[in-house]
Structure 1
Amino acid sequence: MNRELYTKLKVSVNSIPLSATVISVKKDEHGNCGELRYFAINTSFTNDCVALFFQDETSDKSLEEKLKEVESKVEGALYTINVQKEPKFEDACFKSAWKKEPLHTYVDTTKMYGYWTEDFFLPVAVSDDEKDPDVAYCLFIYTLNKEMDVNKFSAVSPDIASFIIKACLELQSENDFYSSMQLVTDYIREYTGAYGASVMSYQSDLEKYEVISGSTVDNVSIKEIFSHIPFSTVASWEMLLKHTNAIIIKNEDDLNYYETQAPAWVKTLRASNVFNLCLVPFLRQNSIIGYLYISNFDIRLMTKAKEMLELLSFFLSAEVANHLFLERLEYLSNIDILTGVKNRNCMNADVEEFSIKFKFNPMPFSVAFCDINGLKIVNDNQGHDAGDKLIAAAADILKDIFKDDNIYRAGGDEFSIISTHSTEREFEEKIKKLRELTSDPNKLCFAVGYYHDGGSGPLELAMRYADERMYQDKNEFYERHPDMRR
């Protein structure tokens, strides 16, 4: 360390009342951002670090001793000594130190620290005799705010403001949710000069994500791309975003870093020839509910794009949250909570819809009724919890066998199935497999009745025939096992 330069910059940074540090920014052999180190820190910055370094310690050291210890640890150390590696931060330091650009950002870090962070990056000039040809310096100053300062955050350039207004007007248009999101996604891709952009919803409790909209230069389907990516890969983003409000990958170095954190994800990026990207989470009550995903964007637009995306994400978050709320309402009104199959209300609505459809467009279909034998004995002898587990296990078998068909919990222990995708032979094979798996009276035993219609009769009549056959099957079961009769 150049002691004369250090002394000069230490005096300068200590004259700043806010938390501040001079950062040395080293160029790597390719002329890109290399090591970032705390060159000189002021007292306010040191105080902030004390709480971090001594948070898990019971120490008898005085505050003065703690300050000196922290100062000796931090000065000269890589910036990652007290924070997570952050590509956006590195890019800002590099631009300020090497390109002599003053930068100002206002970042939502409430998820990490409980505060908004306002950051200032200022270039630091040093004399020729103090220079290292591979090192430049910037001054980093930050403040923390409990609430967002709307006046500061809204001070955006006219073109960004115009873009945000255009996008918000589209979101409030009379188009349906998916159409509006598609148009906004197109706008984002064009604005950022990206190859692709997409908006996604994310529900960690249901282990589910959905590509709501996608836009690419060559009209490749982003939904198709993500159809091959498992939920676990998308779930890994949540861990990566634990200490930052967005992920920006600019180059191979950033890809290599994230490969150490989420190798499965980066493998998919390399396979899809993604060399840079921006991933912005949508937050609701401090939980991630979706993402804005932009790949292979124009790196020259990164600063402007980042500012636009951070602001637009507020509005997109609200739209995605409303979409998920309505989706949950629909789910709860149509799905049986215990089993995860459709409920009776949904069955009644579907039967009415199918009946109209078959009337005007006759087609072959199959129906089945399945009723659990001996459930009352289980409830009486083992309790209703055991009975509920038996019902749920029965539903799991039905979902596994009748994957592409409509499955309903028609009553307490009764299920119905409507199939329009299987031939008569295929449906009979499914019924055969069902009987093989559910014919043990001591575990799980279904009474089953089914009927296939070639396209000539009404659905209601077919369901009546299947129901009658199921009751016939049930009566035969109780004749063989009278001790299990209800």
Structure 2
Amino acid sequence: YEWVAEGVKPEKDNLQNLPPEICANWYHRFQKGKHIVFQDLEEIREIDPLQYENLKRQDIRALAVVPLYDDGKVIAFYGVDNPPPLSLEYTSNMLQITGHFLVSCIRRRNLMRELEDMSYKDALTGFGNRFAMNRYISQIDHKKSMGVVYCDITGLKHVNDTMGHKAGDQLILRACDCMSKAFGDYGVFRIGGDELLALCSQIEQDVLEERIRLLRKLMEENTVNMAVGMIWQDEATTELDILLQESEKLMYADKAEYYRKNGIERRRR
């Protein structure tokens, strides 16, 4: 976060991914419960040359920087560049006082993010759930191509019944790993106990077919079998519910073919 006075050049974009050694001396002081205050940049030329060059480049002449702690650990720091000389001590004191409020705000923000993750993610797999799927669908550009891949993990109930739910969970995770490697750059969701879904907005048909081949290869390598139904449209003009239904039908057809070839009784749903 950054706020600049009128006429001051923003530096936030230039400070991303700074080498950690630049702020190493600062963190050393922060871990001792100290903060950074100096009236003249030249004060640190000899004792902290890397930070000196970094600040000089930004035309910083004076500075007050205070760390933020959470549970005794430094989680961030913030400060004021070039405060008026007579206000430097006051600025430092105010930064220390308001730091407690900032930490409280950060905790609240992190809690809200965790709650949102919990409401949109499947607890076992980390895949999106149905709420996440609906949110993804609401953001789709219907003028672009769309691919739907509907998968059902074959034999999950049998594994749960004969080997226990821990083994079943491992099977689910292996299946999700296959889906992630094939479609992780699109939307992947767990929409039922044994049902996984990939929604691929703006994907070309040949790319989708290539990903399906990759998925099947990964399944073979990871001792996973899934029935797969795939459908593609050059424009997502058809209602997504209809595309989901059509891909589900294709998945059931693939599943029936698997059971026909393997001579295993197809369980009723």
The two structures have a TM-score, normalised by structure 1, of: 0.44
Matched, 1:482 2:268: no
CA contact (8 A) 1:252 1:275 kept: no
CA contact (8 A) 2:149 2:228 kept: yes
Structure 1 match to 2:76: 291
**Structure-2 separation of matches of 1:303 and 1:314:** 18
**Structure-2 separation of matches of 1:450 and 1:379:** 27
**Structure-2 separation of matches of 1:429 and 1:375:** 26
Structure 2 match to 1:327: 113
1:35-46 mapped onto 2 (5 Å cutoff): none
CA contact (8 A) 1:379 1:387 kept: yes
- With over 3 angstroms needed to count, the CA separation of the structure-2 counterparts of 1:393 and 1:465, relative to structure 1, is same
Structure 1 match to 2:95: 309
Q: Which of 235, 239, 244 is the equivalent residue of 2:33?
A: 244
Q: Which of 48, 51, 60 is the equivalent residue of 1:255?
A: 48
Q: Deviation at 1:284?
A: 4.4
Instruction: Tell me how many residue pairs correspond in the alignment.
Output: 253
**Structure-1 separation of matches of 2:264 and 2:122:** 31
Q: Deviation at 1:411?
A: 0.7
CA contact (8 A) 2:65 2:92 kept: no
Structure 2 match to 1:342: 128
- With over 3 angstroms needed to count, the CA separation of the structure-2 counterparts of 1:241 and 1:370, relative to structure 1, is farther
- With over 3 angstroms needed to count, the CA separation of the structure-2 counterparts of 1:422 and 1:453, relative to structure 1, is same
Structure 2 match to 1:389: 170
**Structure-1 separation of matches of 2:45 and 2:265:** 68
Structure 1 match to 2:161: 380
**Structure-2 separation of matches of 1:240 and 1:484:** 69
Structure 2 match to 1:165: none
CA contact (8 A) 1:247 1:278 kept: yes
**Structure-2 separation of matches of 1:220 and 1:378:** 57
CA contact (8 A) 2:64 2:88 kept: no
**Structure-2 separation of matches of 1:378 and 1:416:** 21
CA contact (8 A) 2:150 2:251 kept: yes
Structure 2 match to 1:399: 180
Highest RCO, 1 vs 2 (Cα 8 Å, sep ≥ 6): 2
- With over 3 angstroms needed to count, the CA separation of the structure-2 counterparts of 1:310 and 1:336, relative to structure 1, is same
SS in 2 for 1:337: coil
Question: Which has more radius of gyration?
Answer: 1
Give the partner amino acid of 1:398: M
Structure 1 match to 2:208: 427
**Structure-2 separation of matches of 1:436 and 1:375:** 19
SS in 2 for 1:399: helix
The two structures have a TM-score, normalised by structure 2, of: 0.74
Q: Deviation at 1:245?
A: 5.2
Structure 1 match to 2:231: 451
Q: Deviation at 1:397?
A: 3.2
- With over 3 angstroms needed to count, the CA separation of the structure-2 counterparts of 1:230 and 1:453, relative to structure 1, is farther
**Structure-1 separation of matches of 2:19 and 2:254:** 41
SS in 1 for 2:48: helix
1:176-325 mapped onto 2 (5 Å cutoff): 185-186=2-3, 189-190=4-5, 217-219=8-10, 222=13, 226=16, 228=17, 241-244=30-33, 246=35, 251-255=44-48, 280-286=66-72, 290-294=75-79, 297-298=81-82, 303-325=89-111
**Structure-2 separation of matches of 1:396 and 1:241:** 41
Q: Deviation at 1:470?
A: 1.4
**Structure-2 separation of matches of 1:484 and 1:287:** 58
- With over 3 angstroms needed to count, the CA separation of the structure-2 counterparts of 1:399 and 1:303, relative to structure 1, is farther
Q: Deviation at 1:409?
A: 0.6
CA contact (8 A) 1:347 1:408 kept: yes
**Percent of aligned positions with the same letter in both sequences?**
27
- Provide, for residues 7-36 of structure 1, a one-character-per-residue CA deviation record: whole Å limited to 9, x for no partner: xxxxxxxxxxxxxxxxxxxxxxxxxxxxxx
CA contact (8 A) 1:405 1:421 kept: no
SS in 2 for 1:316: helix
- With over 3 angstroms needed to count, the CA separation of the structure-2 counterparts of 1:397 and 1:217, relative to structure 1, is farther
Q: Deviation at 1:348?
A: 3.6
**Structure-2 separation of matches of 1:458 and 1:274:** 53
> Which structure has the highest strand share of the two?
1
Q: Which runs of 4+ in 1 moved over 4 A?
A: 228-231, 237-241, 245-250, 272-279, 284-288, 299-302, 483-486
- With over 3 angstroms needed to count, the CA separation of the structure-2 counterparts of 1:370 and 1:243, relative to structure 1, is farther
CA contact (8 A) 1:424 1:452 kept: yes
CA contact (8 A) 2:159 2:167 kept: yes
Matched, 1:412 2:193: yes
Give the partner amino acid of 1:449: G
Structure 2 match to 1:8: none
CA contact (8 A) 1:394 1:444 kept: yes
User: Please, which runs of 5 or more residues in structure 1 have no aligned partner?
Assistant: 1-181, 192-215, 260-265
Q: Deviation at 1:278?
A: 6.3
Q: Deviation at 1:410?
A: 0.5
